[in-house]
Amino acid sequence: MIEKKDHVFEKSVLVGIINKSQNLEKVNEYLDELEFLTYTAGGEVFKRFVQRMDVPNPKTFIGSGKMEEVVAYVKSNKISSVIFDDELTPAQQKNIEKALKCKILDRTGLILDIFAQRAQTSYARTQVELAQYEYLLPRLAGLWTHLERQRGGIGMRGPGETEIETDRRIVRDRIALLKKKLLKIDKQMETQRSNRGALVRVALVGYTNVGKSTLMNVISKSEVFAENKLFATLDTTVRKVVLGNLPFLLSDTVGFIRKLPTQLVESFKSTLDEVREADLLLHVVDISHANFEDHIASVEKILEEIKCSDKPTIIVFNKIDQYTAEPYDEEDLTTTYEPKHFSLEEWKKTWYNQVGDRVLFISAIEKENMEEFRKRVYSEVRKIHVTRFPYNNFLYPEHLDQYGPLGD
């Protein structure tokens, strides 16, 4: 199994490229996210390198001139890891390692490292280990360069090649074993879910670090681990919540992120089963983040991939206490009035026009608008509950107000 490692603060450098699909602004935004990921993994970013390229260099990802620049900086500042924003091919990783002589990571490798740090239960650890082995399999050749027997020819025949083959076989066997183990756990989880009876299931979904676990703690009055870092939650937590006297199950799930590697979506399939089996989704969004609209699009794309886009969803804009609009000078004719200048009220109007009343604005930490949130969730859960148990709907008044005052 994966051993938990204590991370020493590492000196890191980030590398990104500008191409047709991502301009400078977009690249900076991705690199900001990558910097936060690096900080979460236990690194400190000292410099960023950005290069404009239509197609990444198949050998070294970035051009030779930029590579020399990175090599010089890494040597003079004793940098221990260089992190690339896009996924590197095994060949690129090998060539870059030769040139830079330090640890090379791409976005996928970094996310996997954070996942390995954060996995608590045996189940989450098995999922992460599977994803790590699948990521490692095509990159094994680079780990055996000390044998230098891969090239073949005179003086190169011998055990080197078999060493790699043996290694690949060990990894493949391990992958097969982990898949079997996950299937077994999947069945157990399925049994657990079926034992929960016909209670209405509500799942919190959203981008990473938007406040899902904090919201879970406020509603269910429980102690779910919440921290201002990416991927603080890896294990799905399920709590029984009662609003008024209406019980339902609330699950907190792993956060999504842009450019989420496919092998991760695959290995976290069962965690996402909580989302698949939910009756109502609460899509939590961090409105104080400058690119929250991109986050919404990323989450909706993943929900579509796991065939959950047609479920009843309420968008919950969290962290309204931290939202600040960029100042706009009406007399300045060079700047146009853009969404980043919108006040909170303007955002409310925009979203009410787009999705009607299926939107809420709250602050989980400051407990702002939580009363409205509870009422809304209660009425949605009641609608589903009444269809399942049509004979006891008189037990649950139509509105939460009818129970009398509610404490936080």
What pLDDT, on a 0 to 100 scale, did the predictor assign at position 1?
45
Say if residue 363's pLDDT is above 50.
Answer: yes
Alpha carbon separation from 174 to 122, 126, 134, 179, 398 (Å, rounded): 16, 11, 10, 9, 54
Say if residue 228's pLDDT is above 60.
Answer: no
Rounded average pLDDT over 296-322:
84
Give the range among 119-133, 286-300, 320-334 with minimum mean pLDDT: 320-334
What pLDDT, on a 0 to 100 scale, did the predictor assign at position 341?
63
Say if residue 124's pLDDT is above 60.
Answer: yes
Decide which of 24 and 198 is more confident.
24
Map residue 320 onto helix, strand or coil. helix
pLDDT digits (tens, 9 = 90+) for 368-406: 888 888 888 888 888 888 888 777 666 767 777 666 554
Rounded average pLDDT over 340-351:
73
Measure CA 99 to chain center: 31
The residues, any chain, with a CB within 8 Å of residue 344's CB and separated by 6 or more, are 287, 320, 323, 325, 361
Decide which of 260 and 88 is more confident.
88
Decide which of 153 and 109 is more confident.
109
Of the ranges 149-158, 262-271, 333-342, 349-358, the best mean pLDDT one: 349-358
pLDDT digits (tens, 9 = 90+) for 229-245: 556 555 677 888 888 88
Decide which of 279 and 235 is more confident.
279
- Which percentage of the chain shows pLDDT scores above 70? 77
Nearest-Å Rg of the Cα atoms of the chain is 25
What pLDDT, on a 0 to 100 scale, did the predictor assign at position 340?
65
Say if residue 408's pLDDT is above 50.
Answer: no
Amino acid identity of residue 218, one-letter, is: V
Say if residue 158's pLDDT is above 60.
Answer: no
- pLDDT averaged over the chain? 78
What pLDDT, on a 0 to 100 scale, did the predictor assign at position 334?
64
What pLDDT, on a 0 to 100 scale, did the predictor assign at position 185?
81
What pLDDT, on a 0 to 100 scale, did the predictor assign at position 262?
66
Nearest alpha-carbon partner for 139 in 101, 180, 183, 95: 95
Alpha carbon separation from 400 to 340, 359, 379 (Å, rounded): 36, 18, 8
What tokens appear for 101 in the block?
């002589």
What pLDDT, on a 0 to 100 scale, did the predictor assign at position 141?
62
Rounded average pLDDT over 233-261:
77
What pLDDT, on a 0 to 100 scale, did the predictor assign at position 389?
74
- Which percentage of the chain shows pLDDT scores above 90? 0
What tokens appear for 171 in the block?
């990894």
Contact yes or no for 281/203 (Cβ under 8 A): yes
What pLDDT, on a 0 to 100 scale, did the predictor assign at position 149?
47
What pLDDT, on a 0 to 100 scale, did the predictor assign at position 116?
80
- Taking the C-alpha atoms of residue 106 and residue 109, their distance in angstroms, rounded to an integer, is 5
Measure CA 106 to chain center: 15
pLDDT digits (tens, 9 = 90+) for 4-21: 555 467 888 888 888 888
What pLDDT, on a 0 to 100 scale, did the predictor assign at position 90?
84
Map residue 347 onto helix, strand or coil. helix
pLDDT digits (tens, 9 = 90+) for 44-59: 888 888 888 888 888 8
Say if residue 60's pLDDT is above 60.
Answer: yes
What pLDDT, on a 0 to 100 scale, did the predictor assign at position 254?
76
Say if residue 344's pLDDT is above 80.
Answer: no
What tokens appear for 233 in the block?
């939650």
Say if residue 285's pLDDT is above 60.
Answer: yes
